Structure 1
Amino acid sequence: MSNSKNFIVLVWMIFVVFSNQVSAQEGPVLDWSNFDFVSGDEIIFEDNLEGERNGEFPSKWDLANGTVENAVLDGENVIMFINTNANSTGGIVPLISNNSEDYLPDDFTIEFDAYFDEPGRSYRLLFFDGKNQVRLNRTVNPRTSHLDDRIQISQNSATYGNSTSYYPGFDQRSSTDNSASAPGWRRVSVSFNQRALKVYLDEARVLNIPNMSFTPIGLTFSFHNPRGGFQGYMKDIRIAKGAVPLYDKMVTDGKIVTTGIRFDVNKATLRPESYGILNEIVKLMNENPDLNFSVEGHTDNTGSEGLNQTLSEARAKAVMEEMINMGIAASRLSSVGHGQSTPVASNDSPEGRAENRRVEFVKF
């Protein structure tokens, strides 16, 4: 009997240890209910890697330094960083017509997905074009010797200058916690407003810099792995001009137009990053109990007209139902789809098609 008890205790101890290891690898459960990032409402640059050929250089980018090419990861088109000198100006820069000038507005947002599968790797976002722009306003913090013209993004942390903040649940006093999550994608969201910088990893805001010492003039995307031998992967990149406050939009236009609500391709399944704008609209409706919205879906002209009509209806309904789940009374909402019938931009460019794939909240 004693041996049997000892065996049971041993099995239980192994189970507890294994459970703790799995928990440490998986990290905290994502909760997008407090996500407050709202993407810009005027798209400057968009690349979902549609139609890219494996092994070729990404068609919407230029090379500043290093080796970068298209690849396929888990069935999805991605940009693969094989080798870039992230400590200088290495990486890729978006093909933008006026890229030798300051092409970033006073308020802008940046979004992209970054893949992490090895400790120590990081992505770096440089706030200048590493190929076409002279860094006239490059600054080095004299107290710390840190470059203040970039941010560094690891799986569970973000760094600007001498400020590093961590994803919730990871102890900044332990260097091992910085890479304790299981391999996977992180949605990186960045907002800049006049001089203030905010950086999000998935649903969590990890950096809030009230006064950025460097004025962004362009962008370079790079990958850094000090140990070598591993690649970085990036996809779904968007740069947009900063959004007007939602209440001001509603008062001025009688509606809120957003491209920040995203869906899986050819589906009505809401993507997690949609909750930034959804949380803000629900908050606006809670603060204004007489405000009612018709949720109206729009698509670009990719695919048939009939399928786009059906898709837009399903997406508008999905948004409405999610808002009801978030506490808005069903009587205050309705939904309708317009398909591809009312474009607001040309469908001849990725940016134009992205503008047309929108959800409008029309006051009634």
Structure 2
Amino acid sequence: MKGLYVMLVAAVVMAFCSVTALAQIRINEPGRVVERQAENRANRKIDQAVDKGFDSVEEGIGNLFKKKDKKAKEVESANPDSNGDKKPESNASSNAGNEANIENGTPVKAGKPSLKSYSKFDFIPGEKVVAVEDFAQDAVGDFPAKWNTNSSGEVVTIEGTEGKWLMLGPEGVFYPEFVNKLPENFTLEFNLATTSEFSFYSGYLRTIIAEVASPAKDFTNWKGFDGGKKNGIELGLHPHDAGGTQGIAMFNVFGDENAASIMKNEKSFPAFHVPEHNVVKVSVWRQKGRMRLYVDDYKVWDLPRAFNPEKNYNFIAFSNQGYHEEANRYFISNLRIAVGAPDTRSKLITEGKFSTTGILFDVNSANIKPESYGVLKDIANVLTENGTVKVKIIGHTDSDGDDGSNLALSKKRSEAVKEALSKDFAIDKTRLETDGKGESEPATPNTTSEGKANNRRVEFVKM
């Protein structure tokens, strides 16, 4: 009998080890974090199976791991920048062996949303891009050079998605050291992903926007719900509720008695833990006291007095303080901060020219991304209210790639904008002309990620 017991234990261990190998996150240097996760998870499951009396090896495995059949999306670029002008030639070599396959599947949304599907999305990014983080300068397996943390983390790539991601370690604060000043009008955007089997009992991802005396020194002191000790706000996102049907958003204000009426609010939004929808875009828009938060095209919060105009906000960080199971992970990428509130009407009608970096395109393509809807709608409103105005739409690119290809791409993109204004916003095509300048007229030097982001723009010139 004792021999049978030992054989059953060995069988369970071997079965769980083989299945766990499929479930863990695969990165370039699996070593430390991932191996610990896999071992801890396997050990917990083995103990559970033994305690239940070894009912059935097959039944145990079936109950402990949910296999999902997900369709992987082709990776277009190893290191895309936010508007997609970097070329994908080196993709095969840079991504080989460095991908994270999350819970035996790919955290990518099924299908591609259309521009029209974002018809309620009124987000307009700031005028000037001041910070871009796509982790292009960091090696897979390393913690990013321009960040700090009191936890751990690794740069990884995720199968079926573009570029690199920061996989956040457990129980910590993750601080981008290049953010040290935030004006009264700014926008913050980033992509967010989770592992597929994300537990409801794991904590929120908190986005912190605050005023601190010394960000580099004080970031480790942020421990969540500690009332008046901090000055700022927390925006918490959890991928799903207990039923798995709704995401949960949390909003908190710290150190501001005037904002007591909006402290510790919670709200639901569409879940993003399901296999076909594990990647979302998060957008935060501050206009003086007003704060709006979007998850993809869904407006989660629109609060008129979330920010205190008297505070000098100088700090952005991400935190996952609170209980976190080892197997659950948040991933962030393509962080972008832009400042200034665009004044489309004044600049186009009065000054005769309006330029925007908020019309985004797929990598090396003229396909307009759906999150551009808010900017296009704003431009269309100005043209509708000023029915006699005609404009020339001029596309611009950064300097990456071949000059001739960039010129052709800029022309195609201006044509795509014209088509969108006509088709989706009923602007008469006879009022619209197009042109492209490629990389020939940079607005800023193409020497930094931020400079390139500001050069990837669309101009509207009054004729």
Cα 1:226–1:290 change in 2 (3 A) is farther
Please give the alpha-carbon distance, in whole angstroms, between the structure 2 residues aligned to 1:146 and 1:217. 13
Please give the alpha-carbon distance, in whole angstroms, between the structure 1 residues aligned to 2:249 and 2:169. 21
Please give the alpha-carbon distance, in whole angstroms, between the structure 2 residues aligned to 1:320 and 1:211. 37
Q: Any idea what the Cα deviations from partners look like across 1:181-235, whole Å, max 9, x if unmatched?
A: 8442111100111111110111121101111255432211234673412221111
| CA contact 2:444–2:454 (8 Å) conserved in 1 | yes
Q: Quote the RMSD (CA, aligned, Å).
A: 3.0
User: What is the total number of aligned residue pairs between the two structures?
Assistant: 319
- Residue 78 (structure 1) aligned with residue 170 (structure 2): no
Matches within 5 A, 1:210-225: 210-212=304-306, 214=308, 215=311, 216-223=313-320
Please give the alpha-carbon distance, in whole angstroms, between the structure 2 residues aligned to 1:154 and 1:250. 40
Residue of structure 1 in register with 2:389 after alignment: 291
Please give the alpha-carbon distance, in whole angstroms, between the structure 1 residues aligned to 2:307 and 2:344. 28
Residue of structure 1 in register with 2:443 after alignment: 344
Percent identity over paired residues: 28
| CA contact 2:291–2:307 (8 Å) conserved in 1 | no
Give the AA of the match of 1:69. Answer: E
Residue of structure 2 in register with 1:303 after alignment: 401
Matches within 5 A, 1:196-345: 196-212=290-306, 214=308, 215=311, 216-223=313-320, 226-229=323-326, 230-326=328-424, 327-345=426-444
Please give the alpha-carbon distance, in whole angstroms, between the structure 2 residues aligned to 1:225 and 1:338. 50
- Residue 33 (structure 1) aligned with residue 119 (structure 2): yes
Q: Any idea what the Cα deviations from partners look like across 1:30-72, whole Å, max 9, x if unmatched?
A: 820121100001111012333542112224x221321122101
- Residue 127 (structure 1) aligned with residue 194 (structure 2): no
Give the AA of the match of 1:91. Answer: F
- Residue 356 (structure 1) aligned with residue 455 (structure 2): yes
Please give the alpha-carbon distance, in whole angstroms, between the structure 2 residues aligned to 1:79 and 1:224. 20
Cα 1:335–1:154 change in 2 (3 A) is farther
Which structure has more helix as a fraction of its residues?
2
Q: CA deviation at 1:297?
A: 0.4
* TM-score of the aligned structures, taking structure 2 as reference length: 0.63
Give the AA of the match of 2:251. Answer: Y
| CA contact 2:280–2:295 (8 Å) conserved in 1 | yes
Give the AA of the match of 1:261. Answer: I
* TM-score of the aligned structures, taking structure 1 as reference length: 0.79
| CA contact 1:255–1:360 (8 Å) conserved in 2 | yes
Give the AA of the match of 1:68. Answer: G
Report the 3-state secondary structure (helix = DSSP H, G, I; strand = E; otherwise coil) of the residue aligned with 1:39.
Answer: coil
| CA contact 2:272–2:278 (8 Å) conserved in 1 | no
**More divergent stretch after superposition (301-310 vs 221-230):** 221-230
Residue of structure 1 in register with 2:192 after alignment: 114
| CA contact 1:111–1:237 (8 Å) conserved in 2 | yes
Please give the alpha-carbon distance, in whole angstroms, between the structure 2 residues aligned to 1:311 and 1:225. 47
Give the AA of the match of 1:301. Answer: S
Which structure has more strand as a fraction of its residues?
1
Give the AA of the match of 1:73. Answer: I
Please give the alpha-carbon distance, in whole angstroms, between the structure 1 residues aligned to 2:199 and 2:412. 41
